[in-house]
Amino acid sequence: MSGAITGTKTGNESNLENAMQLMIQTFHKYSGNEGDKYTLSRSELKEMLTQELGSYLGNPQDKDAVDKVMGDLDANNDGEVDFTEFIILVGALTVACNDFFLEFNKKNEEKKE
């Protein structure tokens, strides 16, 4: 059985399997702290944003910023972020990073010409 599925590291994972494993591990690291252990409460979300994405999201200590992310993600409006909602956040951020990275490369190439 693949390590990425069971969440244990076997050392034979591809880069993409590693990425999937890291996303699963990160979610459960924070979701287990209080309440429903399979969802992120508002304070678990804040902790996750601060620890994992501080450099992307500016200052997530800012209560309004956490409320905004929670409002955008919590599609079913239950005050909790589930795993699918978390993956949508990470996916959207990754697409934004990739766009930024391509733009950055394009500008560098233009400079060289």
Place of tokens 């950055």: 104
Smallest distance from the beta carbon of 65 to a copy of itself, in angstroms? 17
Of the two residues 65 and 90, which places its CB atom closer to a copy of itself in the complex? 90
Smallest distance from the beta carbon of 3 to a copy of itself, in angstroms? 9
Rounded to whole angstroms, the Cα distance separating 94 from 103 reads: 14
CB 82 within 8 A of CB 64: no
Of the two residues 22 and 75, which places its CB atom closer to a copy of itself in the complex? 22
Of the two residues 33 and 98, which places its CB atom closer to a copy of itself in the complex? 98
CB 63 within 8 A of CB 104: no
- Positions that interact with a copy of itself (CB under 8 A): 2, 4-7, 14-20, 22-27, 38, 48, 51-56, 83-84, 87-88, 90-91, 93-95, 97-98, 100-102, 104
Give the residue among 46, 24, 36, 29 at the shortest CA–CA distance from 78.
Answer: 36
Smallest distance from the beta carbon of 79 to a copy of itself, in angstroms? 21
Smallest distance from the beta carbon of 64 to a copy of itself, in angstroms? 22
Written as six digits, the tokens of 8 are 């244990």
Rg (CA), the chain: 17
